Structures are given as C-alpha cells and as structure tokens.
Structure 1
C-alpha cells in the first residue's frame, strides 16, 4: 500500500479537528504524552470522515442546487465559474454515447473517462482539493454539533456555524472548479 502525502494529510487534519472537539465531549482532557496514540486515532477518524463525506455527497449536491458537473453542462454556474461552451460540449458528448437521451451525469462521466486517461494534467490536484474540502465540510458539521452541545451557554460556540457556512461554500466552489477543469481539459483534447 502506497501512501502519498495528500492521503496522510487529508486524513490527519480533519481527524485531529474531530479528535480535539470530541475529547471534552467524551470527558477527556488533551494529554501531550499521548500524541502518538492521538495521531493514530486522528488518522482513523479522518478516514471515517472521508467515508462519511462520500456518503453525504448527494445531500451536499442537493444543498448546492445540483451536481456541479451537471449544472455546468446545463449552462448554470456559480459566481465566476461558468462553462461558456456548454452547448457545443454537450452536443459533442451526446455523440459519444449510444443512449438516445443521456443525462448530464452520464455525459460528464464520458468526459472524466477521457480526461483521467491523460497524463500531465492538473486533474488529480483538483480532485484531491474537492475531496479534501468535502471532508472538511463534514468535519465542521460534526464538530459543530459537539461544540454547541458541550458549550451551548457560551456565545462563542455558535461561531462554529459560520465556519460550517464557509466550508459549505468552499466545498461547493471546489466541486465546480473540479468539474470545470474536467470539461476544460476534455474541450482541449477534442478541440471543442
């Protein structure tokens, strides 16, 4: 099994945040003598957060107004992120399938299959960035529940709701950036 630095950091960072927010909730205090044990637990919690964030992805798509990839192919974007050649791109992708009425999800999977077969693209970085943002969103939501349950009488605990909103926006933005990068690379490959 090969671990990349991204794999380790993407699990450790959210895992440590969860661990530190849950320790007081479970009645424990942080003890610097247990840092190696905490690291192992944090990695496991981070891995669990990756799983949960993947399971919650459909809910996140719903809260964002749809899948970023499908929205871009439909001509919808967010703020500065738009796919201007979406009509030509969609028609080209439709010509690549035997399905008489393919959905945007199917069309995007055709583009992804092509793009992920290419070397020397930034697509893996965009994919990792989106996955990390989605995991941090899940982490912030779960941590906020615990922080508010533990410190409901302290107004500062409610500041964690602002963090959830910011992470929600960032994960949505990263989803759009990833989808746009896939479509941009596909457009370049196919000269669209």
Structure 2
C-alpha cells in the first residue's frame, strides 16, 4: 500500500504520537518486538483522530468566532449599514490574515443566484467548485495544511486530557494547556489562510 505524504503526516505521525503518550499516561512499557503492531495501531489511532477532528470542526469554529469563510464573505453591511464603509475601508479576517476584496468577490458570486440573500456557505461552496479543478492553484495545499492543523489540534487536545487525567497532582502536566493554545492559534490561522486562498483564486480566475 502506497502512502501519500498527507496520509503519513495526518494518520501515522499523529497516531503514533497519541499512542506513545497514551502508553506513557497509563504506564505501559514500550516493547520493540511489537513495532509492526504499534505502526498498525498508530495508523488506526490517526484514522480515528481524523474522524474526531471532523466531528469537532463546528466546535472549533465556535471557539475562533465563527466559520472563516463566512466571516470573509460578510461585508458587515447588515451590522453597520450601507454607508459605514464609505468612511472606513472594508476588511475582514483576523490580525494576521486580512481580506480586502469582500465586495468584489460577493458581487461575482451573487451573479446568477435568484435568492437575494444567500447564505455565505452557499457562496463559498460556489467559489470552491470553481477553483477545485485548477491544477495550478495552491488551494489543495492550503486545504491539506488546514486539515493537518485541525488533526494536530485534536491530537494535542486528547493527549493533554490523558496526561492531566492520569497525573492531576503533577504541575508539569498542566503545561500541556500551553500546547493546546499554540495549536489552537495555528489552527485558526490555517483556517483563515485556506478560506482566503479559495476566494483569491476565485477572483484571479475571473480576472483572467
């Protein structure tokens, strides 16, 4: 069976990390005679982590203030009024990931849609369908990076829970909370990078 780089990173690596941390937490001694079995268990753990990550995605979106694609496509007109952005430049996103073309991309995405107020999910889905077939775009790479960051966040979250649960009296166990925050912030950035790349690629395609 041939593994692609994403399969190795998202399944074997994170699965092996969780397996080792689980063995440490429950004081199970590592046995080198079972290396092949450990690899199989690691892949299974990684597969399950990917499944859990997908289930937790709505929760992660809630913790970062909403779905990035929705926020990048929301021009704030409903909240601030039509003339608000006449004086203040329109931008959406977070501090490290800004998107200034919300009005332009919304105008393009709304073409041919009968519904006057379609949901942002529908607009972003239209943009995704338009750019996913482009072999020269960076969208697949950004999507893989986002999925990997989501998987790593879930791995660290589960691992930290195991370590704290099995060693509640050890103050060093609570240092894992710092790792959770670091991975959560990276996940947030990757989510916005991916959404922005899809919209930028959509604009680029229409300009061409």
Q: What's the secondary structure of 2:65's corresponding residue?
A: coil
Aligned-partner Cα distance in 1 for 2:104–2:112:
13
Corresponding residue for residue 70 of structure 2: 70
Aligned-partner Cα distance in 1 for 2:128–2:4:
22
Aligned-partner Cα distance in 2 for 1:112–1:2:
28
TM-score normalised by length of structure 1: 0.94
Does residue 129 in structure 1 map to residue 175 in structure 2?
no
Gaps of 5+ in 1: none
Does residue 148 in structure 1 map to residue 164 in structure 2?
yes
The ranges of structure 1 where at least 4 consecutive aligned residues each deviate by more than 4 angstroms after the TM superposition are: none
Match of 1:103 among 108, 119, 138: 119
Aligned-partner Cα distance in 2 for 1:96–1:123:
24
Conserved 8 A contact 1:70-1:105: yes
Q: What's the secondary structure of 1:101's corresponding residue?
A: coil
Aligned-partner Cα distance in 1 for 2:73–2:117:
14
For the aligned residue pairs, the C-alpha RMSD in angstroms reads: 1.6
Deviation (angstroms), 1:27 = 4.4
Gaps of 5+ in 2: 75-90
1:1-192 equivalent positions in 2, closer than 5 A? 3-74=3-74, 75-191=91-207
TM-score normalised by length of structure 2: 0.87
Aligned-partner Cα distance in 2 for 1:119–1:27:
48
Conserved 8 A contact 1:73-1:83: no
Deviation (angstroms), 1:30 = 1.5
Deviation (angstroms), 1:100 = 2.7
CA 106–38 in structure 1, closer or farther in 2 if over 3 Å, else same: same
Higher mean alpha-carbon deviation, 86-95 vs 158-167, is at 86-95
